[in-house]
Amino acid sequence: MKFGRKALSAVLLFVALVLANYIAANLPLRLDATANHIYTLSKGTKSILSKIEDPVTLDFYFTRNARGLPTMYQDYAARVEAMLRLYSRAANGRIVLNVINPEPDSNAEEAATTAGLQEQTMPSGDKFILGLVATQADQQKVIKAFDPRRESFLEYDLSQLIFDVQQIDKKKLGLISSLPLKAKLDYMAMQNGQIPQNQYVLTAWEKHFDVDSIAPTADSLPKDLDVLAIVQPRNLSPKLQYAIDQYILSGKPVFIAVDPSCQYFKQQTGASMYGQPDASSDLPGLFKAYGIQYTPSMVVADETNASKVQSPDGGVATYPTWLSLTRKNLDPNFIGTSQLSSLLFVEPGALSLAPGAGLKMTSLVQSSAHSGLLATMALQFTQPDDLERQLKVDGKKTIAALFTGPLKTAFPNGEPASPPAPGKPAQSAASPSGLKVSKGSATLLVVADADWLMDDFSVRQINFLGSQMVEPLNDNLYFAENCLDYLGGPKDLLSIRGKGSSARPFTVVMDMQAAAERKYREKLDEVEAKLAGIQQHLKELLGKRGQTQTLIATPEMQKTIDAFQKQEGDARIQRRQIRLALREGINSLKYTLLFANLFASPLLVVAFGIWFYRHRRA
């Protein structure tokens, strides 16, 4: 009877454990104890999910049984699947999640490749698929391949995919530009077989937007714009500036590229004995009202990131005002710059925030600490080497920035009056009207350079087998695409930022290793130098003995060689001991953690059992 009761108790305990796990797995409550709350959906994502009208089907493809699959991808696939299940629960039935294992030569693999997912190849030659297909009605969007390097932007990518699959029409982009991004019709050139081409940045934007060009002399903006891009603004009419102000205050995003020294206008006008005509651009009224500081007569010079440029005499000169920036100059937490490697800015300006401004400024692109400002007038007649001598280094400069926050209008008196028609009296100013403060948070992405958008500084055309092809010189085009894609998404997407990685670095071990290296590095370098000297002496002696063995290989010489070989052996032992001491603390910590992982849980269970037994006896 006792045995039967014990067996029944064991069975009931097992059933209780299964039920507890089932209930816990299906409870809507979750506790996110990660450092960056990577398993907690942001308000923007929840808002996007709440606006889903027709169900969205997510097909998550992952080749689980691929041979030799790196652990990094296995862990990341588990992370993606966990996030997708989190999305499915938060959508309350509006998202249907299918987890599919596309085994080789299966229907699932064929469906994945047909949808556009990318097969990734491992060092062994085997392939695997790790991607996502989103479907709503007859619309389909994909993430071709999940990249662990983009883990911090996983939520952004998933939310953007779900948003994009619900969009039927392209968003509309308004473009105000004094640069010839759009090619002008040239009938003479066309007759000679030369067809004018748009700048490639405009071609890239047209993939995602319907672009509506707006003349700088226009008095208003189209009513249905989703995004506004202003490139090299020059001589904009007061009414157009007012329309831009009202558009910004309405909460819609704006991209602005100004330039203190635009190469296109410098080449068009040319220099004269009186100097070079003004080639700058600015929005002084708007910038001053918003608290954005930018000086159109000053350019950034950077000693560290100066570009090598071919000089007119055929040589190579270092231009400190042509900045070749790398990943370390870019914001790793911004979706538009996190994956970029190189950018080129030509005589850019600097951006900053005025004291007391209500905006928040996020620096996206910065120069190095060895930077300063030079007057544009100094660029006309000064050689590159002289520019560096004139430069006063005073720290990093922001070249591109994201400004967000509340704004006040730059036109407190309302819309400016229209200019009088010829022969008619001037009209009085209109009564104050329009928005005085922004609706919620305004969003402006400002770049203090415009040349980087032009083909001359972003792409190179090459002839490949008789066809004209384009090769990127840097990541300028990708940066331009990323900026507009970021701004063109819904406001909910703008609020989603990078959350870091689920792979947490072992900072304790890293700190111990750095401290140990500092402690033993000097001693180790001394031994390494001594060992190198001994080996050099041995090499010389053995070389002499090999050349004239009968004359030089005397007992005294052999004794000297043996002594050096002994010193070499002692130095190697000393070097090994130093390296062992360097790793000693790390190995000790490793074994301590191993012991804790193996025995902590059993010891806790035993301690609980002893406590329970004593409590029951009492």
Q: Rounded distance, CA 292 to CA 311, Å?
A: 35
Stronger pLDDT, 345 or 589, i.e. the higher one: 345
Alpha helix locations (H) across 211-331? 238-249, 263-269, 284-290
pLDDT above 70: residue 544: no
pLDDT above 70: residue 28: no
* List of residues 6+ apart from 21 with CB closer than 8 A: none
Mean pLDDT of 276-280: 79
Stronger pLDDT, 565 or 45, i.e. the higher one: 45
Mean pLDDT of 164-180: 91
pLDDT at 374: 92
Mean pLDDT of 40-65: 89
Instruction: Kindly report the number of other CB atoms within 10 A of residue 375's CB atom.
Output: 14
Q: For residue range 10-23, list pLDDT tens digits in order.
A: 777 777 777 766 67
pLDDT at 404: 94
Mean pLDDT of 139-147: 91
* List of residues 6+ apart from 487 with CB closer than 8 A: 227, 253, 254, 255, 443, 445, 494
Residue carrying structure tokens 């280094």: 393
For residue 360, the 8-state DSSP code is E
C-alpha dist (Å) from residue 425 to 70, 303, 422, 428: 78, 56, 8, 9
SS3 content of the chain, % helix, strand, coil (to 5): 40, 20, 35
Instruction: Kindly report the number of other CB atoms within 10 A of residue 172's CB atom.
Output: 17
Stronger pLDDT, 247 or 600, i.e. the higher one: 247
pLDDT at 506: 55
pLDDT at 467: 55
In the structure, what pLDDT confidence band is assigned to residue 602 with cuts at 50, 70 and 90?
confident
Stronger pLDDT, 349 or 186, i.e. the higher one: 349
pLDDT above 90: residue 521: no
3-state secondary structure of 139: strand
143 has which bridge partners? 132
In this structure, what token pair is assigned to residue 167? 């969009």
Lowest mean pLDDT among 177-186, 379-388, 509-518: 509-518
HSE-up of residue 152 (Cα within 13 Å, Cβ side): 17
Lowest mean pLDDT among 161-165, 196-200, 494-498: 494-498
Mean pLDDT of 468-496: 82
In the structure, what pLDDT confidence band is assigned to residue 185 with cuts at 50, 70 and 90?
low
Distance of CA 52 to the CA centre of its chain: 28
**Three-state SS sequence of 66-108:** CCCCCHHHHHHHHHHHHHHHHHHHHCCCCEEEEEECCCCCCHH
pLDDT at 427: 54
Q: Rounded distance, CA 128 to CA 26, Å?
A: 31
In this structure, what token pair is assigned to residue 554? 């005397």
In the structure, what pLDDT confidence band is assigned to residue 460 with cuts at 50, 70 and 90?
confident
Q: Residue 350: what residue type?
A: A
Q: Rounded distance, CA 363 to CA 15, Å?
A: 56
In the structure, what pLDDT confidence band is assigned to residue 549 with cuts at 50, 70 and 90?
very low
Instruction: Kindly report the number of other CB atoms within 10 A of residue 408's CB atom.
Output: 15
In the structure, what pLDDT confidence band is assigned to residue 552 with cuts at 50, 70 and 90?
very low
Nearest to 209, CA basis, from 222, 228, 223: 228
Torsion angle, CA of 106/72/331/279, rounded to 10 degrees?
-40
Mean pLDDT of 385-404: 88
pLDDT above 90: residue 580: no
In the structure, what pLDDT confidence band is assigned to residue 312 with cuts at 50, 70 and 90?
low
Mean pLDDT of 471-495: 84
410: region left, alpha or beta (phi > 0 left; psi from -120 to 50 alpha): alpha
Nearest to 63, CA basis, from 120, 123, 115: 120
pLDDT at 311: 66
* List of residues 6+ apart from 127 with CB closer than 8 A: 63, 66, 104, 119, 120, 121
pLDDT above 90: residue 248: yes
Mean pLDDT of 161-167: 89
pLDDT above 70: residue 434: yes
Residue 232, φ and ψ in degrees, nearest 5? 50, 60
Residue carrying structure tokens 């000089």: 311
Instruction: Kindly report the number of other CB atoms within 10 A of residue 15's CB atom.
Output: 10
pLDDT at 518: 57
130 has which bridge partners? 62
Nearest to 492, CA basis, from 37, 32, 170, 49: 49
257-286-483 Cα angle (round to 5): 30
Nearest to 486, CA basis, from 76, 116, 208, 136: 208
Contact 470, 461 (CB under 8 A): yes
pLDDT at 377: 86
State the average pLDDT for the chain: 81
85 burial via Cβ count (<10 Å: 0-12, 13-18, 19+): middle
pLDDT above 70: residue 499: no
Mean pLDDT of 144-163: 86
In the structure, what pLDDT confidence band is assigned to residue 551 with cuts at 50, 70 and 90?
very low
Q: Give percent above pLDDT 70 in the chain.
A: 73
pLDDT at 99: 95
Contact 253, 443 (CB under 8 A): yes
33 burial via Cβ count (<10 Å: 0-12, 13-18, 19+): exposed
pLDDT above 50: residue 273: no
* pTM exceeding 0.95: no
- Taking each helix axis as running N to C, give the angle between helix 71-90 and helix 43-50, from 0 to 180 degrees, rounded to the nearest 10: 60
Residue carrying structure tokens 């050689």: 383
In this structure, what token pair is assigned to residue 537? 């002496």
Q: What's the distance, Cα to Cα, between the start and end of the chain in Å? A: 27
Stronger pLDDT, 254 or 48, i.e. the higher one: 254
Q: Give percent above pLDDT 90 in the chain.
A: 40
Mean pLDDT of 59-87: 89
Which stretch of DSSP H or E encloses residue 493? helix 491-494
pLDDT above 90: residue 338: no
pLDDT above 80: residue 316: no
Highest mean predicted confidence (pLDDT) among 128-137, 143-152, 601-610: 128-137
Q: Rounded distance, CA 455 to CA 202, Å?
A: 10
Contact 152, 498 (CB under 8 A): yes
Alpha helix locations (H) across 345-501? 384-390, 476-488, 491-494
Q: Residue 532: what residue type?
A: A
For residue 444, the 8-state DSSP code is E
pLDDT at 262: 94
Pairing of strands 316-326, 306-310: antiparallel
pLDDT above 90: residue 448: yes
